Chains A and B, each alone.
Chain A
Amino acid sequence: MKKFTALFIVGACLLLLNSSNPAQASLSLLDDKLTLSGFLKNMTAYNPNHDRDFQEIENTIQLEAEYKFNNNLSFFTIFRYFYDNAFDVNPLFEDNRRPLHRTRGTDWLRECYVNYESPSLDVRIGKQQVVWGTADGIKIMDVVCPTDQRHYLLDDYVNSRIPRWMLKIEFSPKVNGTLQFLFIPDFATDYYAPPGSPFTYQAFELQGELMDALNQLGKNPSWHYTFNETHHYPAQNFENSSFGVRWLDILPNGLEYTLNYLHGYGNVAGNVHIYNLGRPPFLGAPPQGDWVLGFKYPMTELFGFTFTKGINTGPLTGTTVRGEFAYIHNNFNKTEGLWYKNYISVPFPPFSIPTEAINGGITKVDNYKYVVGVDKYIVTNWLASFQFIQLVTNKTSENGNNLLFGPTSARLNKYYTFLTTRISTDFMHERVKPDCLFMYGTQNEWRISPRIEYELRDYLNIAVGGHMFWGKRETLLGEFRENDEVYCEIKYGF
């Protein structure tokens, strides 16, 4: 780790010293057929209020390569590796050092695809990102690629989106109309930070607390407690593949719209099965047994649309109206509840006792999500962007048991409403770019994220900013109220 950090710093300094050119252009080789570029980045985030310690000291190197066989055919790949020193310096995250402190598995291969382009037909095959929708700060239609939510939704989406192996075909039968088809044999879902991470959802913290308690109790040899976590991942076969279709068109009056359908994976939901159920060893203790926390991944149907319209004439000239709507059928949702199964007879009252219990249920729900936004330059280069967001679930209880809100495990409301405003501008010939996102949830929860970017040189950029959260612990934004952070980002591009 120390070696990597030292190399990063030394490398960065050497590169910065070589600063005679205004631009560090990407490298072109083989008669400009091969282009190489990339960046080195350090992102350091500090929690000034609660922990007073580092939440992120992430050093990232990214290399991008494009090889053009001809004007139509190319190969593109991105390699990325990161190392997060916060897991070394902050004792709070020590338990999660192994899964989170660096790039895992084959994630270093960020994107890798062959691309064919022509005026009417585009084909892209390989690991890639596909993006639907236009919302800021929340994902409504942007669900083709799942999200790495280890930092909630604070990272740039280009970095937090999890690319997938897929085939993308786009056919344009008319000038502005394009039909997109996606075939995604690769299974991937959102990644959530495990308990004890900088941005763990409350629901996972509660699971972590349960797990810790059971592990403690299990240390007593006279009591029987075991704990395991299982994921019911779908088999990698054709039947479990995802696929999507999107039609994009622009009407003569300038209204741009898309119609979308995605057959893919929805929200993961988990509940606890207790096998070999036994009595609690003392009053207030959980029942003894073999506890298994199982996660299931539903196959859902998403139907949606998006639209954008620039108002070109009249008193509202210069205003852009946009929106997106998604209906997700057969999604999973957790419920409250405790059920007993597999009763056996015993020779004493109550003469039959259960050997298995299920704590928490999983039910199927339909979700409706939409956002409507308005953008307008209010004075010269001051852009104001306003959004109204609503998340709706078709039911809040099942057989008398309340449904639970996924991120916090609080009781689910039928409606969640958020309002966002983003103000951005620039100064000094776009060298200084301030930007601030305000997000308010009607459960009296807030997020404010200011950021200022400064272009020191073409190849060297610095950004400082922060994320502040307010609200009750059981709300989406309020659950991170102890995770306020200020950050500094330095990026060297080449």
Chain B
Amino acid sequence: MKLKLLQFFLIIMLVGLVFGGGNTKPVFAEEKPLLLPASADCSTCCKKVNLYPGIDVNNLMQIKYIVKYTKFAKDQESVGSFIMIDRSGLKRSRKWHRYRVILEKDGIDYKDLIVLTEPQHIKGLAVLTWMYLDPNRERDNWIWLPSQRKIRRASPAEDDDAAFGSDLTTEELTTRSWNSETYAYVKENATFEGYTSQYTGKTYYKDTPSWEVEATPKRKPWYYSKRVLFIPKNIGAQVHDDIFDPNGKKFKDVLRTYEIHDNGCIPMNYVECIDHRTNHTTAVEIEWIRFNSGVDEKLLSPKALMRTKW
């Protein structure tokens, strides 16, 4: 029995090693450059997104992901917090410190490290993610477990799982890519009527000229059937998503706000997600964000997780 079990594990391991290797080139759809080079004499400047007139919806959505994953910069460092509010008004929060390095080489798209710094009971919990250029290659995850002071290679969470207990799924927060959906313009010259945040009470992007895009997931069946995005003409990334369940009923609103910097950087500074099925809200507040500050790639390795003091 012992030998049989051992054989079983060896087979599993070998299969993993065989299937786990390799890398394929991603499919690129753009014909025009999506990013314009940053000024050579400006080390903190970002590449500018190229929102050219008559842009194809696929190129627009590629730009949207460039903005989402801050690929206009070499790296980013940010501090922020999740605030989760349930239907009774009870608030819970998670404060985090995040690092990301955009690589786009050796098969690796980017590396991302998020360390939870508050509250005390999960202080030190850290998740390191390596995303690959090959859209068919699953990401690699490591997690630092403060209760054991131990690093674990984590099995990647399912894409439809809630990220850190928020209303955003793992896919919405980190794993959705341009290849995950198909796109069509609803209106190329729409006007976004604005969205009033339940958390801050402010109305954002009222009467903003936008592209209105319908995105349909390739994966079927999936937890949503489509989403409708409003992408302002001066940003290139959506400020609002209407998300519809498999029966076509809207169940989620997602708001994203941005700052547009003269140096080409477009940081996202606030995200709010409301799940109408549970009346649960998540607000993501970004306290500060820095680009091109020289985050070292060595910081985004398992060794860096082991530095954690908690």
Identify B148's interface contact among A38, A117, A120, A157, CB under 8 A: A157
Q: Does A91 contact B (CB under 8 A)?
A: no
Contact A430–B164 (Cβ < 8 Å): yes
Contact mask for chain B residues 94-118; partner A; CB cutoff 8 A; 1 contact, 0 none:
0100000000001100000000001
Contact A24–B119 (Cβ < 8 Å): yes
Contact B123–A311 (Cβ < 8 Å): no
Cα-based distance from A273 to B303 in the complex (angstroms): 48
If A254-B140, A376-B155, A458-B93 touch, whether A316 touches B15 (CB-CB below 8 Å) is: yes
Shortest distance in angstroms between A490's beta carbon and chain B's nearest beta carbon?
A: 11
If A22-B91, A457-B92, A491-B121 touch, whether A311 touches B16 (CB-CB below 8 Å) is: yes
Residue among B106, B147, B161, B280 with most chain A CB within 10 A? B161
Contact B22–A459 (Cβ < 8 Å): no
Chain B residues closer than 8 Å to A25, beta-carbon distance: 95, 118-119
If A312-B140, A320-B153, A377-B158 touch, whether A417 touches B147 (CB-CB below 8 Å) is: no
Which of B42-50, B209-217, B225-233, B294-302 lies at the binding interface? Answer: B294-302
Contact A431–B119 (Cβ < 8 Å): no
Q: Does A99 contact B (CB under 8 A)?
A: no
Contact A380–B160 (Cβ < 8 Å): yes
State the total of A-B contacts with C-beta under 8 angstroms: 211
Complex interface residues of chain A between 362 and 382 (CB less than 8 A to chain B): 372, 374-377, 379-381
Cα-based distance from A415 to B3 in the complex (angstroms): 12
Identify B121's interface contact among A22, A115, A381, A493, CB under 8 A: A493
Cα-based distance from A387 to B92 in the complex (angstroms): 34
Q: Does A66 contact B (CB under 8 A)?
A: yes
Complex interface residues of chain B between 124 and 143 (CB less than 8 A to chain A): 132, 136-141
Q: Does A455 contact B (CB under 8 A)?
A: yes
Cα-based distance from A142 to B151 in the complex (angstroms): 12
Chain A residues closer than 8 Å to B141, beta-carbon distance: 310
Tally of chain A residues near chain B (CB < 8 A): 80
Q: Does B13 contact A (CB under 8 A)?
A: yes
Contact A381–B86 (Cβ < 8 Å): no
Chain B residues closer than 8 Å to A311, beta-carbon distance: 15-16, 19-20, 138
If A252-B106, A255-B17 touch, whether A22 touches B302 (CB-CB below 8 Å) is: no
Shortest distance in angstroms between B275's beta carbon and chain A's nearest beta carbon?
A: 9
Q: Does B61 contact A (CB under 8 A)?
A: no
Cα-based distance from A258 to B208 in the complex (angstroms): 54
Chain B residues closer than 8 Å to A256, beta-carbon distance: 153, 302
Contact mask for chain A residues 11-29; partner B; CB cutoff 8 A; 1 contact, 0 none:
0000000000011111000
Cα-based distance from A415 to B150 in the complex (angstroms): 27
Contact B136–A23 (Cβ < 8 Å): no
Contact A455–B92 (Cβ < 8 Å): yes
Shortest distance in angstroms between B22's beta carbon and chain A's nearest beta carbon?
A: 7
Contact A321–B146 (Cβ < 8 Å): no
Question: Taking CB as reference atom, which chain B residue is nearest A312?
Answer: B138
Q: Does A478 contact B (CB under 8 A)?
A: no
If A310-B138, A313-B20 touch, whether A390 touches B2 (CB-CB below 8 Å) is: yes
Cα-based distance from A271 to B61 in the complex (angstroms): 74
Chain B residues closer than 8 Å to A39, beta-carbon distance: 120-121
Cα-based distance from A120 to B298 in the complex (angstroms): 8
Cα-based distance from A313 to B125 in the complex (angstroms): 27
Contact A309–B2 (Cβ < 8 Å): no
Contact mask for chain A residues 103-123; partner B; CB cutoff 8 A; 1 contact, 0 none:
000000000000101011010
Cα-based distance from A321 to B119 in the complex (angstroms): 31
Contact A383–B155 (Cβ < 8 Å): yes
Contact A119–B299 (Cβ < 8 Å): yes
Q: Does A429 contact B (CB under 8 A)?
A: yes
If A22-B93, A23-B95, A256-B153 touch, whether A313 touches B121 (CB-CB below 8 Å) is: no
Which of B4-12, B63-71, B185-193, B263-271 lies at the binding interface? Answer: B4-12
Contact B155–A313 (Cβ < 8 Å): no
Shortest distance in angstroms between B148's beta carbon and chain A's nearest beta carbon?
A: 4
Query: Looking at chain B, what size class is its interface with the partner chain?
Result: 35 or more
Contact A156–B20 (Cβ < 8 Å): no
Contact A429–B158 (Cβ < 8 Å): no
Q: Does B218 contact A (CB under 8 A)?
A: no
Q: Does A344 contact B (CB under 8 A)?
A: no
Secondary structure at the B interface, as helix, strand, loop or mixed, is mixed
Contact B120–A122 (Cβ < 8 Å): no
Chain B residues closer than 8 Å to A318, beta-carbon distance: 138, 155-156, 158
Contact mask for chain A residues 368-409; partner B; CB cutoff 8 A; 1 contact, 0 none:
000010111101110100001010000000000000000000
Which of A1-9, A47-55, A170-178, A333-341 lies at the binding interface? Answer: A170-178
Contact A250–B302 (Cβ < 8 Å): yes
Identify A459's interface contact among B16, B120, B303, CB under 8 A: B120
Chain B residues closer than 8 Å to A288, beta-carbon distance: none
Question: Taking CB as reference atom, which chain B residue is nearest A461?
Answer: B121
Q: Does A482 contact B (CB under 8 A)?
A: no
Chain A residues closer than 8 Å to B296, beta-carbon distance: 119
Q: Does A76 contact B (CB under 8 A)?
A: yes
Contact A455–B16 (Cβ < 8 Å): no
If A316-B16, A426-B165 touch, whether A66 touches B156 (CB-CB below 8 Å) is: no
Q: Does A347 contact B (CB under 8 A)?
A: no
Question: Taking CB as reference atom, which chain A residue is nearest B154?
Answer: A320
Contact A37–B123 (Cβ < 8 Å): yes
Contact B161–A380 (Cβ < 8 Å): yes
Contact B119–A493 (Cβ < 8 Å): yes
Identify B19's interface contact among A157, A313, A426, A429, CB under 8 A: A313
Q: Does B157 contact A (CB under 8 A)?
A: yes
Complex interface residues of chain A between 152 and 194 (CB less than 8 A to chain B): 156-158, 161, 170, 172, 175-176, 178
Q: Does A248 contact B (CB under 8 A)?
A: yes
Complex interface residues of chain A between 422 and 479 (CB less than 8 A to chain B): 426, 429-431, 442, 455, 457-459, 461
Q: Does A317 contact B (CB under 8 A)?
A: yes
Cα-based distance from A417 to B20 in the complex (angstroms): 29
Chain B residues closer than 8 Å to A195, beta-carbon distance: none
Contact B147–A156 (Cβ < 8 Å): yes
Contact A322–B153 (Cβ < 8 Å): yes
If A119-B298, A309-B20, A321-B13 touch, whether A429 touches B166 (CB-CB below 8 Å) is: yes
Contact B120–A37 (Cβ < 8 Å): yes
Q: Does A131 contact B (CB under 8 A)?
A: yes
Shortest distance in angstroms between A400's beta carbon and chain B's nearest beta carbon?
A: 27
Q: Does B83 contact A (CB under 8 A)?
A: yes
Chain A residues closer than 8 Å to B123, beta-carbon distance: 26, 37, 493
Identify B302's interface contact among A248, A374, A457, CB under 8 A: A248
Complex interface residues of chain B between 6 and 54 (CB less than 8 A to chain A): 6, 9, 12-13, 15-17, 19-22
Contact B120–A131 (Cβ < 8 Å): no
* Additional 5 contacts, C-beta under 8 A, given A117-B307, A493-B121: A24-B120, A156-B147, A313-B138, A429-B167, A442-B2
Q: Which 4 A-B pairs have the closest CB atoms?
A: A493-B120, A430-B165, A314-B19, A308-B153
Q: What are some 18 contacts across the A-B interface (CB < 8 A)?
A: A24-B119, A64-B310, A115-B307, A129-B149, A134-B153, A157-B147, A253-B20, A310-B156, A311-B138, A316-B16, A319-B16, A320-B154, A390-B2, A429-B86, A429-B167, A458-B93, A458-B121, A493-B119
